[in-house]
Amino acid sequence: MDVLTTGIEGAVIIEPTVFDDKRGYFFESFSQRVFDEKVCRIRFVQDNESMSQYGVIRGLHFQCPPYAQSKLIRCVQGAVWDVAVDIRQGSPTYGQHTAVELTENNHRQLFIPKGFAHGFAILSHTAVVQYKCDEFYHPEAEGGISPFDPSLGIDWHIAADQAILSDKDAKRPLWRDFDSPFTYDNPVKQL
């Protein structure tokens, strides 16, 4: 697998080695040994899957400490525009984002460490997204930022008037009203 940097420390794109032949393809979607060696030491404890239709935007989400989550995201059907926003106060890239198209054909994955808000937009008719988390879901620790805050400058590849948001995501605070629970100088450690 190849690990591509994104310009924001910690967030990386993973390109697995795919073996194609007349039968189809094969690749390792996750190897603990290789991930520990090439990305970081981590222990994933929960796998999630969502299915959404075109125009759905899920995000921007995070879990507050002490339940902060790192995520490894991949699209197994369709195509999504996946976004990670650095919310670590004091970070040289605080408030900046990175984005990548994840598709069933490119097999790319995005690793997002603790201290980031995450979201994705559905670009295909439907899409199935799977992601690994290194902390269990804790609803009391949920947090989020408005995905359409213009100060973040995110191009979701979906027009705002076509976007489908949950009621909760539609009411998320703007960046200027957001007080991040994460700091760059005291990051939540991986394993």
As annotated, the active-site residues are 61, 131
Whether residue 80 contacts residue 127, with contact meaning beta carbons closer than 8 Å, is answered with yes
Closest CA to 35 of 71, 3, 82: 3
Three-class DSSP category at 89 = strand
Residues 6 or more apart whose CB falls under 8 angstroms from that of 22 comprise none
Give the C-alpha separation, 71 to 69, whole Å.
Answer: 6
Both tokens of residue 26?
């094969």
Give the C-alpha separation, 128 to 142, whole Å.
Answer: 22
